[in-house]
Amino acid sequence: MSFRQERTSNHPSADYAAARPGRAPVQGRPAPDRAPVQGRPAPVTQTPGAATGFLFVLATLGCLAALAATYYFFVRTTTGQFIDESALVEAVALSGTAGRAATRFLDWLPALSVVIATVVVLFVTVIRRRWAAAGIAVAACVGANVATQVLKDLVPVRPYRGVETLELNSLPSGHTTMAASAAAAVFLMVSSRWRPLAGFLGGSFAVATGVSTLINQWHRPADVVAAFLVVAAFMLPAGWLIIRNGPRWNAWDGYGDHWAAARLWVALPAILGLASAGVAGYSLLKMAPGSGQEISTTNYFWAGTSLIVIAGYLATAAGIWLFGHAARRTARRRDAPRR
């Protein structure tokens, strides 16, 4: 008769892989300090955010291309200059009560943007200890505003194309850049379940700023659209870096798990943007040759306002979708607790 002693050692070995104390092993990823089980291939790890990196790069390049196209059409061509300048001139018709309200809003805008962004970013940074994310978001915000001022100085004056207009370059809008970048910084700092709501509110704030600059005759519609694109070109790479450096709090189960993550906040800006496209098309068709209207009243103004709303809200909807898609991909890689 022979006796066989079972192995009862609690120490991990090459044949008995054990997870580190206090941390549950994540499916599909080995524990950091253990050797793979003999005879089995080591699991292939994936970097958080790597799968969606191509989409972020593509979106950033798309923003830069759209910025160049906006400049070329609205500054270098006769048709673009005429539409842009006509919207600015016709804004005089709303220079009464709306103009005074827009002026007060724009006077308070710089301080309001800085206060909102500072309070939210500092609160999230201190409470959640998201130091790296705060540094990236603030750097992108500053970069967008600096780039706007540099473009104002580097872009040539508006060439004469038969349209009576100021030759000074006003593209992109500095006020719109400040408002949009502050809203984008807040969007990047909050957790994924709050981003749909933060995106809609921030996009509405940026759109209201852009429309106010037009009503107050500070900027043409193209200046506002260019500001949106500059901010997006900086915030998209920043958002990708934040997702890579904070995969746990950027993970998300999808729409509907929280009221701030309802699909409404994606659908609403998309609907508003598409409705504004209809308004812009109708306003421009009324000014087309043979339409029966010879004297413009406010059709170009409404077309320019619609252009701002289209750009602002469609960019908002696309940004919410992109970051939501990246968050869901991150959640499938890591069993991250929701905050």
Tokens encoding 77: 């061509």
CA 300 → CA 96, 126, 297, 303, distances in Å?
18, 47, 8, 5
Q: How far apart are CA 156 and CA 83, in angstroms?
A: 19
Residue with tokens 């300048």: 85
- Give the pLDDT score at 129: 86
* Helix segments in the chain, DSSP class H: 53-71, 78-90, 97-128, 131-154, 174-189, 195-215, 221-245, 247-250, 264-286, 299-333
SS3 state at 21: coil
Is residue 26 within 8 Å of 303, Cβ to Cβ? Answer: no
Provide block-wise average pLDDT over 10 residues at a time, the chain (339 residues).
48 43 46 47 45 89 97 93 90 68 74 84 86 93 96 88 82 94 94 93 93 89 96 96 87 84 93 92 75 64 93 95 83 51
Sign of CA dihedral 47, 48, 50, 51: positive
Give the length of the chain. Answer: 339
- Give the pLDDT score at 272: 94
